[in-house]
């Protein structure tokens, strides 16, 4: 433990991860020191046009730069490590502590993003004990869909805080067991505040074991007449190992495509988490000598991402690898909320080209979640037996359901906190109270610019997407204080081309001409006055005629 400091309230808050699936970023802060747990991204839904990533607002961390002692990573999924390149550009992180596989993935990510800032990455395991300022940090191994997943226990001067990270209680896991005995020991010695994964809080019973999936995978291998194209998360190392094992047992060869899939398998092989003989690996360029019935393609793109390998294979833009009749395509994952439409587009394309497409269903159990269902959440709460509880990692209804589960095992309602990003709890002398609210709005990343895209820009993009744009060109003689030719109105993106467009633009031009001429009778008119008049006249006219609110862009050319 660090030195005991009296009257040292501890703040606990999330900058991301509450009311959403993704963007996990949790902070523990005292008067002098601050540690961060995870730094994830959220992938944008279809309505966020041109946005690559959504990350938290790091302004509070910038304001408290001098306090920051470390970033701790629970595991290597994008919603827990994806924002690290942006975080280390925004603030100076003295050290990142991460499990072995996550550390390798972080180094790869920093290299890909060409991060020049020096980043100190230190690996930890279940036996590590780390002092970060006045915080004492220890770890317990959990089962998840990626190896080297951990929960974190933080001892402070005012009490103990535990976060589970992402986990499930899988009694027959592919990989290391969850450390239930260590979890029970932590609970027995006292937990003041527990933060726990809520993603599957709406699912009854127990999450099926990852080993249940192998029977469905083998059944698909037995029945596939031609090539098998299997798409899953590149970070789901347990699933990848099962697919490789089925490939070996069915005497097939495998082609691995998708940069993130190739990178993850490379590191997982290096650390012994994936065992794959080199003799069964083929590349896209040297797979022609393998029969279709003996070929497996393992790729990214299970969420319908436009630039991922599966989408490019489906639309025919992947070099030397196209869909042919007889192919069986397997989506070995469940849709992330918001990705349903993207996945359906890819499924339709694959089917149109003659593939047999298999998705996860009650008829084909080809995916098992890495998150705990309701019975596991109850057991987890029983083992930790926290005095106070804060559900995390989930949309609001998931957090609320997890809170209800906590009540069923005896945690008082007043000791349960369903919060939003930016809300704070204060831990002092083993008691918790509500604290201030911090800035925690979303930051939209377009490309690699850490400054992000402002909410106003996103709003403009949405207007352009939904309602289109109208440009109004005015040619003005400022000396004569009159328009030299009638206004030219150009519409983009919302009026059908043809007679109807001509009719609307002619009438809009006439109304602008009338309004601007009336305005110009006043000798004190400014360009700003003219633009405001144009916007008002055109927006009212087009809304009346089309029930749309297009973006209005007046352009004034002054011949003098």
Residue-wise pLDDT tens digits, 461-493: 676 777 788 899 999 988 888 899 999 998 887
444: β partners: 54, 453
pLDDT at 487: 93
- The whole-number average pLDDT for the span 537-546 is 88
535 phi, psi to nearest 5 deg: -60, -45
Token output for 294: 């003996």
Whole-number mean pLDDT of the chain?
89
State the Cα–Cα distance between residues 327 and 316, nearest whole angstrom: 14
Tell me, yes or no, if the pTM score tops 0.85: no
Fill in the DSSP letter of residue 257.
E
Q: Which CATH number fits domain 210-358: 1.10.1370.40, 3.40.50.10710, 3.50.30.10, 3.10.290.10?
A: 3.40.50.10710
Q: Which residue has the higher pLDDT, 187 or 545?
A: 187
Least confident among 28-42, 137-151, 443-457, 472-486 = 443-457
What pLDDT, in 10s, does the model give residues 7-46? 799 999 999 999 998 999 999 999 999 999 999 998 776 6
**pLDDT band at 50; cut points 50, 70, 90:** low
328: β partners: 228, 356
HEC sequence for 134-181:
CEEEEEEEEECCCCCEEEEEEECCCCEEEECCCCECCCCCCCCCCCHH
Token output for 196: 């726990």
**CB 232 within 8 Å of CB 216:** no
**CB 257 within 8 Å of CB 299:** yes
**Within 13 Å, how many C-alpha atoms sit on residue 468's CB side?**
15
**CB 533 within 8 Å of CB 522:** no
The CA-atom distances, in angstroms, between 88 and each of 81, 117, 349 are 12, 7, 40
- The whole-number average pLDDT for the span 147-152 is 96
Helix, strand or coil for residue 193? strand
pLDDT at 363: 43
Over 80: is that where the pLDDT of 207 sits? Answer: yes
- Domain spans in the chain, listed from the N-terminal domain onward: 10-205+369-445, 210-358, 456-558
Question: Is the dihedral angle over the CA atoms 360, 363, 368, 369 positive or is it negative?
Answer: positive
- Residues 393, 399, 402, 406, Cα dihedral to 10°: 110
Over 50: is that where the pLDDT of 1 sits? Answer: no
Looking at domain 456-558, its CATH class is alpha beta
pLDDT at 452: 62
Over 60: is that where the pLDDT of 324 sits? Answer: yes
- The second-level CATH assignment, the architecture, of 10-205+369-445 is 4-Layer Sandwich (3.60)
State the Cα–Cα distance between residues 300 and 93, nearest whole angstrom: 31
- The whole-number average pLDDT for the span 177-181 is 96
What pLDDT, in 10s, does the model give residues 389-404? 999 999 999 999 999 9
State the Cα–Cα distance between residues 119 and 127, nearest whole angstrom: 23
Closest by CA to 90, choosing from 12, 22, 25, 9, is 25
* Angle in degrees, CA 232, 199, 451, rounded to 5: 80
Tokens 């789901």 label which residue? 236
247 phi, psi to nearest 5 deg: -60, -45
Tokens 């019935």 label which residue? 293
Tokens 């001429």 label which residue? 517
The CA-atom distances, in angstroms, between 98 and each of 36, 73, 223, 384 are 12, 5, 41, 23
Over 50: is that where the pLDDT of 6 sits? Answer: yes
């Amino acid at each position: 433990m660090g030195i005991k400091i009296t009257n040292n309230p501890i703040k606990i808050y999330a900058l991301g991860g509450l009311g959403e699936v993704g963007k996990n970023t949790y902070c523990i802060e005292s008067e002098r020191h601050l540690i961060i747990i995870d730094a994830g991204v959220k992938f944008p839904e279809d309505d966020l046009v041109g946005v690559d990533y959504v990350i938290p607002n790091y302004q509070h961390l910038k304001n408290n730069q001098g306090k920051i002692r470390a970033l701790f990573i629970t595991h290597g999924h994008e919603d827990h490590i994806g924002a690290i390149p942006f975080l280390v550009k925004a603030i100076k992180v003295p050290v990142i502590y991460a499990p072995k596989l996550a550390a390798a993935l972080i180094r790869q990510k920093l290299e890909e993003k060409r991060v020049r800032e020096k980043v100190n990455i230190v690996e930890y395991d279940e036996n590590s004990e780390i002092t970060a300022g006045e915080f004492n940090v220890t770890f317990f191994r959990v089962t998840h869909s990626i190896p080297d997943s951990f929960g974190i226990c933080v001892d402070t001067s005012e009490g103990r805080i535990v976060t589970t990270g992402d986990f499930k209680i899988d009694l027959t896991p592919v990989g290391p067991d969850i450390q239930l005995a260590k979890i029970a020991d932590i609970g027995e010695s006292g937990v003041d505040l527990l933060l726990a994964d809520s993603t599957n809080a709406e699912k009854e019973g127990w999450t099926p074991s990852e080993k249940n999936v192998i029977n469905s995978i083998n059944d698909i291998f037995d029945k596939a007449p031609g090539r098998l194209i299997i798409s899953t998360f590149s970070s789901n190392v347990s699933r990848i190992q099962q697919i490789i094992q089925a490939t070996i047992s069915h005497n097939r060869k495998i082609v691995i495509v998708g940069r993130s899939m190739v990178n993850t398998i490379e590191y997982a092989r290096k650390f012994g988490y994936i065992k794959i003989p080199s003799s069964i690996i083929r590349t896209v360029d040297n797979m022609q000598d393998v029969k279709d019935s003996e070929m497996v393609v393992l790729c990214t793109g299970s969420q319908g991402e436009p630039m991922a390998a599966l989408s490019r294979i489906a639309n025919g833009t992947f070099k030397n690898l196209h869909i042919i009749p007889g192919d069986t395509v397997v989506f070995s994952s469940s849709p992330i909320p918001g990705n349903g439409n993207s996945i359906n587009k890819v499924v339709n394309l694959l089917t149109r080209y003659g593939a047999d497409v298999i998705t996860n269903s009650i008829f084909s159990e080809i995916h098992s979640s890495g998150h705990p269902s309701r019975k596991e959440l109850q057991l987890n709460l029983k083992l930790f037996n926290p005095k106070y509880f804060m559900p995390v990692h989930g949309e609001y209804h998931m957090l609320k359901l997890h809170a209800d589960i906590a009540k069923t095992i005896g945690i008082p309602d007043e000791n349960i906190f369903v919060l939003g990003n930016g809300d704070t709890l204060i831990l002092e002398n083993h008691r918790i109270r509500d604290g201030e609210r911090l800035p925690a709005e979303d930051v939209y990343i377009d490309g690699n610019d850490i400054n992000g895209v402002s909410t106003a820009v996103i709003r403009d993009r949405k207007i352009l997407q939904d309602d289109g744009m109208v440009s109004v060109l005015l040619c003005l003689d400022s000396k004569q204080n009159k328009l030299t030719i009638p206004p030219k109105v150009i519409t983009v993106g919302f009026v059908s081309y043809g007679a109807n467009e001509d009719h609307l633009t002619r009438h809009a031009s006439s109304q602008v001409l009338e309004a601007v001429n009336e305005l110009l009778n006043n000798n004190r008119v400014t360009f700003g006055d003219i633009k405001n008049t144009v916007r008002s006249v055109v927006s009212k006219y087009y809304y009346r005629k089309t029930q749309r609110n297009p973006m209005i862009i007046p352009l004034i050319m002054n011949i003098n």
